[in-house]
Amino acid sequence: MITQHDIVIVGAGLAGLRAAVECVDQADVAVVSKVFPTRSHSGAAQGGITASLGNEEEDHWEWHLFDTVKGSDYLGDQDAVEIMVRDAPRVIYELEHMGVPFSRTPEGKIAQRNFGGHTRDYGKKPVKRACYAADRTGRVVLDTLYDQCLRHQVKFYSENYVLSLVFDGKRCAGVVTYDLATGELHLLQAKAVLLATGGCGRIYKTTSNGFASTGDGIHLAYQSGIPLEDMEFIQFHPTGLYPLGILVSEAARGEGGFLRNRLGERFMERYAPMVKDLAARDVVSRAILTEIREGKGISGRGYVHLDLTHLGEEKIQERLWEIASFVRIYLGIDPVYDPIPVQPTCHYVMGGIPTDVDGRVLMDEKGTIAQGLFAAGECACVSVHGANRLGCNSLLDLLVFGRRSGLAMKQAISKVEHGTLTKDSLRATEEKIKKFFNVRGKEKIGEIRQRIQLLMMEKGSVFRNEEGLKKGIEEIRSLMEHYKNIGAVDKRKAFNFELMEAMELGHQLSLSEVILFSALHRRESRGAHYREDFPVRADRYFLKHTLVFQTPKGPDIRYKPVKITRFQPEARVY
């Protein structure tokens, strides 16, 4: 079946929905999502959204800009960061007008809380910059934007899995989807396609990410000849519940919680004397793992304690209710009285599909624009987070660049007609599916996935070195051979989750290779990328963005310069 829309948006997280709201007044907009829209990972965001409103204490966008650039270890493009932080207050008021129920100060202003790496006066001390709705911020913003989409008649293709992008010559002209409920393939034709498919945390065994975060959109772009930018930068959040990896939001430390080792020491005082437990995430994650390596994990095991017991029941119930209930449900302990066992957990990918500040996808280091293709949100790399993202800057990124992509698509479609697609455009995808059903291989999807996830924890997580990265790449390539032999057990046409998982596994494999390959070639330590064999930042050689291209011979690497406007790189101490 072929259906035409002006704009097709893949992904119903905050980036996709914000873009849809922006362009629906002048275009026929469809949103495709593999999960029900309000189950997108954005709904799991607990902590908040940053903006220098200054409601609780003095704040300025220039300070927000400095913190974000420093947090990025000077790899963020400063022109893009400036656009984002200057737009932030407007974003918050807009959400308020749309109906988001933010938490309030006693005098009725939007309340703000501390988050790691956000400071006053260029690094002097922590500042309250994150606006929040208790610890359910993502949930309420996602529901509000979904309501706005329904109100403006955005068309939803819910539980539809995008299998491939379709091109008319060089222009992206639509997507092919697998409709889970019917098992039918649909060709959705569009004048502009936006990828807003979120992150790829599910490549790692220990992760805070939902099951859908398998990097589909990032890999669909890569397969279509788009390079991937800065994929070596994978964020590990310091406080995942041990041993599950489920997130305990940084809001817990923002509200005054702190970390302790086996000896009861507040060890962050040694690693970040100025801001302590509120240092940037890469710094805190490395500190936790260093303590564990030195035998100072609790009971000599792989975790430390996050202590909230001094906050009191009332504050925990009011501000951290959801976090506390997670801890009670999953671990059976009460954070009002007991410290929480935590370990770093894979949380966010700073890299992704390269775009300009209006979501247009870039095809090379010269900035050539890909026709008809846009990207926004976690799958995109603008780049505002550089080598390490600060907490609560992601929701801001989604809303600022989601909106800008919507505006840019509205403009772009006024100048183009629909391409000439026929049923032939479906054929390649049909063949791919037929092949999957016909292979009588012995390999199991779950087994290969588990091997990737363990391998990536071992070779490509917080600490890396040349030997491990090289071995990791070899092992991934061998798993790629195994992947060719996976056999379908479930032959049903409708609700075939196995088909979906097989496609996701292909994405996970290929992205793992890109992550390890990018990491191998960056022979320095910067932000979330830490090389034991090259422990210092080397601006002279590596103050540049990685671009990895897919070629028949395997990944190929090139680089492009970082945009520096106001802040020259300095030593990064917290």
Ligand X SMILES: Cc1cc2nc3c(=O)[nH]c(=O)nc-3n(C[C@H](O)[C@H](O)[C@H](O)COP(=O)(O)OP(=O)(O)OC[C@H]3O[C@@H](n4cnc5c(N)ncnc54)[C@H](O)[C@@H]3O)c2cc1C
Q: Which residues 6+ apart lie within 8 Å of 293 measured at CB? A: none
Residue 210 to residue 252: CA distance in whole angstroms? 21
Is residue 113 part of the annotated active site? The answer reads no
Tokens of 457: 């924890």
Residue 440 to residue 437: CA distance in whole angstroms? 8
Sheet containing strand 49-50, strands side by side = 49-50, 125-131, 112-120
- In the set 120, 281, 319, 526, the catalytic residue is 281
Shortest approach of ligand X to residue 455 CB, angstroms?
22
Q: Where are the alpha helices (DSSP H) in 152-267?
A: 216-223, 251-254
Tokens of 304: 């430390």
Shortest approach of ligand X to residue 378 CB, angstroms?
4
Tell me 564's DSSP state: -
Burial (CB < 10 A; 0-12, 13-18, 19+), residue 290, is middle
Residue nearest to ligand X (CB): 13
Burial (CB < 10 A; 0-12, 13-18, 19+), residue 179, is middle
Specify the residue for token string 């945390």: 201
Length of the chain: 574
Shortest approach of ligand X to residue 163 CB, angstroms?
7
| Binding site residues, ligand X, CB under 6 A | 10-16, 32-35, 40-42, 44-49, 137-138, 161-162, 196-199, 208-209, 212-213, 216-217, 247, 249, 348, 377-379, 392-395, 398
Q: Measuring CA to CA, how many Å separate 550 from each of 228, 359, 517?
A: 9, 21, 12
| Neighbour count for residue 85 (Cβ, 10 Å) | 27
Distance of CA 256 to the CA centre of its chain: 26
Give the three-state DSSP class for 165: strand
Q: Return phi, psi of residue 101, to 5°.
A: -85, 80
> Measured from the CB atom, is 15 or 413 closer to ligand X?
15
Residues classed as catalytic: 281
